[in-house]
Amino acid sequence: MTSLFRMLASSNLMLLVIVAIGGHLVDPGGPRRAGFDVLVILATVYCALVHSIVYTYFIAAGKYIQSAMEDHNLGCESHLVRAKANKKMSFRYVLLAILATMTAAFLYYAGNPVRGDGAISPWWAAAGTYVALAVNIMAIPFEWKYIRANSVLTKEVTNGVQQAGQVAPAVKAE
């Protein structure tokens, strides 16, 4: 998950930087505005997807540890407690990053005189974009910290299962 997270996080930040800079370069009534609108939607959805994948990883890691504990009689209750704590701590950063990016997208469309009603100044939209970028830059190191901690926990549980001479629990076919 760590290498996947690095790739997802870097591509997420790259898209957000392109949107932040591109917002100043694209003419509001120009021919490229429709393409930029699609890019804003893509960046917003991709950001939500990346952070949702991160949170799903924490849910899956906790389920894996719990399953290993129950199926193989491992004494790893402390691992489960720490995995749940990591999930809880990461949730605030995941949610904050998603909400900041969604808010920036709404501000972008509210400040767009062509697509939206131009109800707010475009500067508010730009400020929202930079705040969303800053929040995502801030959230990624914390998410990374908890992902690494969970990776250590799952590796220890997997080693415990293998040392017990049993195969790690697999997805059961229905």
| Domain residue limits, the chain | 2-163
Which range among 80-89, 103-112, 124-133 shows the weakest confidence by mean pLDDT? 103-112
Q: Which of 22, 86, 11 is nearest to 50 (CA)?
A: 11
Q: Identify whether the C-beta of residue 25 lies closer than 8 Å to the C-beta of residue 117.
A: no
pLDDT bucket at 132, cuts 50 / 70 / 90: very high
Residue 103: CA count within 13 A, CB half-sphere: 15
| Residues 52-85: tens digit of each pLDDT | 999 999 999 989 888 888 777 777 788 888 899 9
Signed CA dihedral, 159, 70, 169, 164: sign only: positive
pLDDT bucket at 13, cuts 50 / 70 / 90: very high
State the burial class of residue 47 (Cβ atoms within 10 Å of its Cβ: 0-12, 13-18, 19+): buried
- Greater confidence (20 vs 32) lies with 20
Which range among 41-50, 54-63, 87-96, 152-161 shows the weakest confidence by mean pLDDT? 152-161
State yes or no: pLDDT of 113 exceeds 70: no
| DSSP secondary structure, 38-93, as one string | HHHHHHHHHHHHHHHHHHHHHHHHHHHHHHHHHHHT---HHHHHHHHHHHHHHHHH
Residue with tokens 């400040």: 111
Question: Does residue 30 sit in helix, strand or coil?
Answer: coil
pTM of the model: 0.80
For residue 85, give Cα distances in angstroms to 25, 33, 72, 89, 122: 43, 44, 23, 6, 40
